[in-house]
Amino acid sequence: MLVLAFTAAAVASAVAWMVDQRRCRRRNEQGECGACSVLWAETPSGDPYLIHGRLVCEGCAQKAKRRMPWQLGALGGWAALIAAIAAGKALAGNGVAEMLFFIVGSAIVVPLGAVQLMKLANRRAQRRIAAAEFPDFNALGAEASTEPERSLPEGPAV
């Protein structure tokens, strides 16, 4: 029963992540902040911040920065709760293998998986930025250079 609850929570979190990523990508493609849907031209600084694979305005980036310790604390609390439940079940005689599965799964795999998922989302967003998939890309400050390529002067290397 505990395995089923753990799996359901993981699946629900993954689905919520995917829905949020799709919504933010749609907003970014429309030239808006991924979190609050404010147009880039209406933001105070006009500079986007890349957080968890989405471009957000400065205000949303500050909110995310303030929330990060709380999110990591909640993840740590979740891992401690699962480890305590597994330890209690192991002491009740259900087995050491189940206890090790939950401790390893909650304390190591879940946080590392979350970090790797965020890194993957950032890499994908950087590829979309490099491919200029955003219609208001010039408004984001990435203007194309019109200067010809300059070559190094010929002569001896210094």
Tell me if the pTM is above 0.95. no
Averaged over 3-27, what is the pLDDT? 84
pLDDT digit string, tens, across residues 85-130: 777 777 777 666 766 776 776 667 777 777 888 889 889 888 888 8
pLDDT digit string, tens, across residues 38-66: 888 788 776 788 888 888 888 899 999 99
Domain spans in the chain, listed from the N-terminal domain onward:
2-132
Averaged over 64-73, what is the pLDDT? 87
Average pLDDT of every residue of the chain: 76
For residues 136 and 120, give the distance between their C-alpha atoms in angstroms, rounded to a whole number.
24
